[in-house]
């Protein structure tokens, strides 16, 4: 993967992934450190190529919490933005999982220095989202493996209780990019390019440049890149080695029940047949994780992307998981300055420690007094509760009582019809 040396080095540092994933504490610590050092702003770049002049370019600016993704094509004189992510006016919904997986596989085939799942998948996940047809059994193990490959061990906390048995980074991505049930529809434009729309805005909203009438999204360049990725995967199957009976027999065994037990035999048969794709041979003979071998077999056998990944990895822990988005309002009257921020930090830490979710500030409300001045009236928090709504409400209620805020706080569901949720009364 062509990428600048700065990014290569930074990815190995403990603070990189918390910064890249927009962890509030990491971003605050980074900002304070940069102010002390008076250092120049970092701009980290990576290119994921499928051939010369075709691929993706990613730019990350840690100091402002901004990630930009652009497509590069031979027909364009400059890179064309397809999406960006920040903490304010983001448009990160670029592609479905199927396209991301396809691009990562093709990039790994083009550049033997890459492994999939690995850095390409981990970096580009923020620009992919889940829709109705996605199979969590095929997706979860790939995402888990990608983060396991790149996040330094020292910064890799154990999965907390109640986190559905997946990595924290995987669950965070799932919560942020799960648009199932929100009316997502893919439609072909008149030029044949796929565009995305959303019919139900009551759930998590779609923020994408890729809407049907968009003049900003480079549809032709994107479609050309996907076509090239598909060609790369198909070209592997033109090798004469795959026509030999002994290789076909090994492939059939790998594609059948308990196929993972036969990947060593397949690797040996391919080597003896003169198959020379080093990426796929390595994935079969020395896979870092089993799903690496699974996608290699899928590629060689012409199977659907994710078919063997799902079969070999088993049921996703996320398939039975659930989440609730809540709104918490804290009146400011009688409270010290920055009370809401302190409360938010404490609540988020408590929920994360229990494996139940997180909280973040979502602005404040002011009212105009009789003298014309605006007074701080209330603060608003977004709260994500995972898997156990009563347990999450209990954590929220306990902290509200601890700060003598239970009687005035307003807790509601964040989605329509915005039903109120009673704060637990621990005095009863």
53-90 confidence digits (pLDDT tens): 999 999 999 989 999 999 999 888 799 999 999 988 89
* Cα–Cα separations (whole angstroms), residue 205 to 4, 84, 178, 201, 417: 34, 15, 10, 6, 16
Confidence of residue 39 (pLDDT cuts 50, 70, 90): low
Helix axes 290-301, 263-272, angle to 10 degrees: 50
Beta-carbon contacts of residue 411 (< 8 Å; ≥ 6 apart): 326, 327, 328, 329, 393, 396, 420, 421, 422, 423
pLDDT digits (tens, 9 = 90+) for 132-154: 989 999 999 999 999 999 987 54
The larger pLDDT score, comparing residue 373 to residue 60, is at 60
Average pLDDT, the chain: 90
Tokens of 65: 């919490």
Q: What is the pLDDT of residue 76?
A: 83
Q: Which residues, in sequence order, are CB contacts of 371 under 8 Å at separation 6+?
A: none
Rounded to 5 degrees, φ, ψ at 91 are: -140, 70
Q: Which of 423, 426, 202 is nearest to 330 (CA)?
A: 423
pLDDT digits (tens, 9 = 90+) for 303-342: 999 999 999 999 999 988 888 999 999 998 888 888 998 9
Q: Is the dihedral of CA 206, 209, 215, 221 positive or negative?
A: negative
Query: In the prediction, which pLDDT does 75 show?
Result: 85
pLDDT number for residue 363: 85
Q: Any bridge partners for residue 328, and if so which? A: 381, 411
Q: What angle do CA 296, 301, 303 make, to 5 degrees?
A: 90
Q: Which of the four pLDDT bands, split at 50, 70 and 90, describes residue 268?
A: very high
Q: Where are the domains of the chain?
A: 5-234, 238-313, 322-413
Query: What secondary structure letter does DSSP report for 345?
Result: H
Report whether CATH 3.30.2350.10 matches the domain 322-413.
no
pLDDT at 368 exceeding the cut of 90: no
pLDDT of residue 159: 45
The DSSP element (H or E) to which 137 belongs, if any, is helix 136-150
Summarised one tens digit per residue, pLDDT across range 191-222 is 889 999 998 766 788 999 999 999 999 999 99
């Amino acid at each position: 993967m062509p990428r600048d040396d700065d990014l290569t080095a930074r990815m190995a540092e403990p603070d990189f992934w918390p910064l890249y994933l927009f962890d509030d504490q990491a971003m605050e610590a980074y900002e304070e450190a940069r102010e002390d050092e008076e250092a120049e702003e970092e701009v980290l770049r990576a290119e994921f190529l499928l051939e010369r002049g075709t691929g993706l370019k990613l730019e990350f600016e840690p100091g402002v919490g901004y990630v930009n993704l652009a497509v590069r094509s031979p027909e364009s004189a400059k890179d064309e933005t397809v999406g960006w992510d920040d903490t304010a006016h983001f448009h990160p919904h670029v592609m479905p999982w199927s396209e991301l997986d396809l691009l990562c596989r093709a990039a790994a085939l083009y550049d033997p220095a890459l492994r999939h799942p690995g850095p390409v998948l981990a970096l580009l996940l923020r620009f992919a989202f889940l829709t109705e047809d996605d199979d969590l059994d095929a997706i979860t193990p790939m995402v888990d493996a990608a983060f396991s490959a790149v996040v330094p061990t020292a910064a890799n906390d154990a999965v907390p209780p109640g986190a559905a048995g997946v990595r924290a980074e995987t669950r965070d991505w799932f919560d942020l990019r799960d648009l199932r049930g929100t009316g997502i529809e893919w439609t072909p434009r008149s030029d044949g390019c796929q565009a995305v729309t959303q019919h139900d805005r009551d759930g998590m909203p779609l923020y994408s440049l890729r809407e049907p009438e968009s003049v900003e999204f480079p549809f032709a360049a994107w479609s050309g890149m996907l076509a090239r990725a598909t060609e790369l995967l198909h070209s592997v199957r033109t090798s004469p080695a795959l026509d030999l009976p002994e290789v076909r027999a090994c492939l059939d065994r790998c594609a059948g029940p308990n196929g993972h037990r036969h990947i060593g035999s397949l690797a040996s048969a391919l080597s003896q047949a003169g198959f020379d794709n080093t990426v796929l041979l390595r994935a079969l003979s020395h896979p870092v994780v089993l799903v690496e071998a699974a996608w290699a077999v899928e590629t060689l056998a012409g199977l659907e992307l994710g078919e063997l990944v799902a079969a070999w990895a088993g049921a996703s822990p996320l398939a039975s998981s659930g989440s609730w988005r809540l709104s918490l309002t804290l009146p400011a009257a009688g409270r010290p300055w920055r009370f809401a921020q302190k409360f938010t930090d404490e609540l988020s830490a408590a929920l994360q420690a229990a494996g139940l979710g997180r909280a973040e500030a979502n602005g404040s409300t002011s009212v105009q007094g009789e003298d014309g001045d605006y007074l701080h009236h209330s603060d608003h928090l977004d709260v994500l509760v995972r898997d156990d709504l009563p347990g999450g409400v209990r954590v929220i209620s306990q902290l509200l009582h601890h700060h003598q805020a239970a009687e005035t706080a307003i807790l509601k569901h964040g989605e329509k019809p915005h039903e109120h949720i009673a704060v637990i009364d621990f005095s009863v």
